[in-house]
Structure 1
Amino acid sequence: MHSLITQGVEITVETYYQPDFSNPTHNEYMFAYRITLENHNPFPVQLLRRHWDIFDSNGEYREVDGDGVVGQQPVLNPGEVFRYVSGCNLQSDMGKMWGHYEMINLLSQQSFEVEIPAFDMLAPFKGN
């Protein structure tokens, strides 16, 4: 588990290898990640956009940008938590992701970035 607080918003990431959705003989590896966002600020915030940097150990690098997360642009009042689960497919049994969220302070209407801590995606058999 990896956690990081940026601009008063704490991001925690947990990853899971998904063997039922992976096919190693065809270089298809699926990983799920659970993100927890917690607003430590004294004002409400809203997540507007996401940016991901994804590195696959086969040397492939890709970026993903989009509105919100899992079809939502959640609002977090002070002290509130929002969790979601998403996934990432790789062509090798290990990789890394990191990125940031674009958020807005709903009182001042000022936007800011919140870093997503880098995390590894590692198939359990890779450690053997």
Structure 2
Amino acid sequence: MKESLIKVDVTTRHLPDHPANTDEKYAFAYQIVITNESDLPVQLISRYWLITDGSGKKSEVQGEGVIGKQPNIAPGGNFEYTSGAVIDTPVGTMEGYYQMQTEDGDMFKVPIDVFTLAVPNIIN
């Protein structure tokens, strides 16, 4: 299975009205679309995230599935979900990977490129 046949698209937004959003915390939502461009069905088994705030503070998040699910994604299909992160600075980044599995039990990692979490108009 080629990891490159699983595409991950990310869209982020700041959540100024979220209860966790304060003068010292910044809440963000990220929407993920995972598209299976292979000829085989795959299942998302687990996730790993490295979250880095603007001061360099790092935190790791890992666990089974995403949003409580371990979705099966058919060939040509996709799975979409929204989740969130709270960081200590108005700008930060996230990156990581999904652990996927084929019907045959072959496990492989799908890397998720670095993406930015930023309060709008904070960066000129």
What is residue 118 of structure 1 aligned with on the other side?
A: 114
**2:16 equivalent to 1:19:** yes
Compute the TM-score of the two structures, normalised by the length of structure 1.
0.90
What is the aligned partner in structure 2 of residue 87 from structure 1? Answer: 84
Gaps of 5+ in 2: none
Q: Deviation digits for residues 95-116 of structure 1, max 9, x if unmatched? A: 000000000011x210000011
Kindly provide the CA deviation profile for residues 17-57 of structure 1, in whole angstroms up to 9, marking residues without a partner as x.
0000121x2x1100000000000110100000000011011
Question: How far has the Cα of 1:127 moved from its partner?
Answer: 2.5
Name 2:54's counterpart in structure 1: 57
Give the AA of the match of 1:72.
Answer: K
Gaps of 5+ in 1: none
Q: Is the 8 Å Cα contact of residues 3 and 108 (structure 2) preserved in structure 1? A: no
Amino acid at match of 2:112: I
Higher fraction of helix: 1
| Identical columns (%) | 36
Question: What does the per-residue CA deviation read over 1:65-84, in whole Å, with 9 as the maximum and x for residues that have no partner?
Answer: 10000000000010011000
Mapped pair 1:7 → 2:39: no
Contact 1:17–1:123 under 8 Å retained in 2 = yes
Question: Segments of 4+ in structure 1 off by > 2 A?
Answer: none
TM-score by length of 2: 0.93
Contact 1:13/1:117 (CA < 8 Å) preserved in 2?
no
* Aligned counterparts of 1:8 and 1:63: Cα–Cα separation in 2: 26
Q: Secondary structure at the match of 1:127?
A: coil
Q: 1:32 matched to which residue of 2?
A: 29
User: What corresponds to 2:64 in structure 1?
Assistant: 67
Task: Give the total of aligned pairs.
Answer: 121
Aligned residue for 1:87, secondary structure, equals strand
Residue 86 of structure 1, CA deviation: 0.2
Deviation of the 1:6 alpha carbon: 3.2
RMSD of Structure 2 on Structure 1 (CA): 1.3
Q: Which moved more, 1:39-48 or 1:6-15?
A: 6-15
